[in-house]
Amino acid sequence: MDELTRYIFNSYSNLMTIQENMAWRYFLFKANGQMDSAKSLESNIHISALIILGEDGFYSYVKDRILKEHSDVIIFNYCPKCRSLTRTPRAKQCLKCKYNWH
């Protein structure tokens, strides 16, 4: 998962639709080896189109939709030193260059 996608999912998952949230849980269950839980979601007709996209396609689709529909509420927090995207919108330390601006 790329840096921007991780940032959106970690900080703005509240902007996902109910179906996207269910599909996200499906992929998380699968990644954690909880196949019984994943199977129970797999048959849900409301999320089958999202599951068919595959994990990478799903993450990309949701990231693009959130960026498009909610660009007015998304805050990009970049390190003032190296310009890398921080982990969260309120972070004050860069994980890449370790710069701290508290």
pLDDT tier, 79 (very low <50, low <70, confident <90, very high otherwise) = very high
Alpha helix stretches (DSSP H) within 1-102 = 3-12, 18-31, 35-42, 48-52, 54-69
Q: What per-residue confidence (pLDDT) applies to 26? A: 95
Residues found in the chain:
102
Res. 19: pLDDT tops 90: yes
Domain locations along the chain: 3-69, 76-102
Q: What per-residue confidence (pLDDT) applies to 89? A: 96
Tell me the pLDDT tens digit for each residue of 51-64.
Answer: 999 999 999 999 99
Q: Is pLDDT larger for residue 21 or for residue 37?
A: 21
